[in-house]
Amino acid sequence: MASAWRQHLENFLKTLEIECESVIDIGGSQLPVSSRLKKFIVKDYKIIDLPDPHETKRKADYSLDIQDTFAILGLKRAGLKEANVVFCLEVSEYWVNPVSALKSIKELMRKGGVLFISFHWTYPVHKPTGKDYLRYSVDGAKELLKYVGLKVEEVYPHRIDSDEYFNFIEKFRYKADYNNKNGDVGGFIIKAKKII
């Protein structure tokens, strides 16, 4: 059974209609975004993921760590075109250098391009073991995006009720002890734009 966070994410994706030249899906090997949207008409769809992701349903077109800005610049020199839309879903918690990761993402976007990115706030530590590092407040995520030059257009919070939250945490209590200090927000998706 999917977690409440996953269900919220899937429900959000089912509302999106993407029709454009190109999409890059960062971390999309496990659950490619191409089959999860209401409408997806794209000429050029590429997945960028780690060389050895913890689960794979579709092989990545490019295998690298998005935090490696030099690898991204190498891809661009090798001919990877900037995308109209970039998805980065359920990836941010694995970064140790979110500024480098977000700078790399910005490099992959055309001017005026759109980014859909998810962030966890109150979510237990999860697989892959030993690789789940960070949680973000809404303000912290917005500031990071602004810092690298992306303009936040919308924030879609995943609101949870207290019973849902405590039942969810109880399921994972052997892994971590979290308190919901940000009220009823369990995570969020941000839509941001590259303006320059």
Considering the entire predicted model, what is its pTM? 0.85
Provide the pLDDT for residue 175.
40
Residue 75 sits at φ, ψ, to 5 deg, of -60, -40
Mean pLDDT of 32-42: 97
CA distance 129 to 106: 28
Closest C-alpha to 150, from 77, 98, 79: 98
Q: How does pLDDT run across 55-95, given as a tens digit for each residue?
A: 888 999 999 999 998 999 999 999 999 999 999 999 999 89
What domain range includes position 148?
4-194
CB-based burial of residue 90 (10 Å sphere; 0-12 exposed, 13-18 middle, 19+ buried)?
buried
- How many domains in the chain? 1
Give the E-state strand segments of the chain in sequence order: 17-26, 39-49, 62-63, 83-88, 109-120, 150-159, 185-194
DSSP state of 37: S
Q: How confident is the model at residue 48 (pLDDT cuts 50, 70, 90)?
A: very high
CATH of the domain at 140: 3.40.50.150
Least reliable range by pLDDT among 32-46, 56-70, 134-148, 157-171: 157-171
